[in-house]
Amino acid sequence: MSIFKKLVTAIRGGAREIGEAVVDTNAIRILEQEIVDQENAIAKAKDALTGVMADESKTARQINAIKDRIGEHEGYATQALEKGDEALALEVAEKIAEYENELAEMQPVLDSYKASVQSLKDQIRKAEKCIQENKRELSVVKTTESVQKARVSVNSSLSSGVSKSSAARESLNRIKERQQRTEDKIKASEELNAENTDAALKSKLEAAGIGKTKSQASDILARLKK
């Protein structure tokens, strides 16, 4: 394969992927519009069905009227034969033949209307079933989409909360460490102050000859002499 053909193939593949991405992104709106279009088509089909059913009813009435006339004229022909008037009976029979020919022409029309009505009803039922399935699928997709968005939002909030909580705990630990260090420094200062106070007091007592005093060589000799 030449480089040019490879480039064309790559471009076509990229265009297909872009097209699929656009379709996927707008899939819900596309399906909603398809459902609207299908419902409009069904409404038109039902309107057409009512027209065909009206024509069927009209044709059926015409056929029934012809059958009634045939029955009526058969009675006339019978009466004419009973009276021995074959010529009149033949004339009536010719009229009956006309009615029967007309009936033979109209019966297929009625059958065609009946077949069309049944076919349209079947198509409408199938289309309505398809619409119901599409609506159920759309409902599931919408619900899933909504739930997933909620989960993503919750997870994002939780992640952010965990991060903030972790940062807050670290800050609290640092504060506790500073407080402990301050406490240690306070205790150390108190100990130093206590020690310094004792030392000063001891010095004053020694100077006044109270308490323990430092032993001097002259004092020791005096004691030994005694």
Q: pLDDT exceeding 90 applies to what percent of the chain?
A: 40
The one-letter code for the residue type at 2 is: S
Q: What does the domain layout of the chain look like in residue ranges?
A: 45-140, 165-195
Six-digit token string for 29:
């709106």
Query: What pLDDT is stored for residue 144 in this prediction?
Result: 84
149-202, pLDDT tens digit by residue?
888 877 776 666 566 667 777 778 888 888 888 888 888 877 777 666 666 666
Alpha-carbon distance values, 133 to 138, 146, 190 (Å)? 8, 20, 83
Q: What is the DSSP string of 190-219?
A: HHHHHHHHHHHHHHHHHHTT-SS----HHH
User: How many Å apart are CA 43 and CA 89, to the nearest integer?
Assistant: 53
Per DSSP, the three-state class of 85 is coil
pLDDT under 70 in the chain at which residues?
Answer: 1-25, 157-165, 194-221, 226
Instruction: State the architecture of 45-140 in CATH terms.
Output: Orthogonal Bundle (1.10)
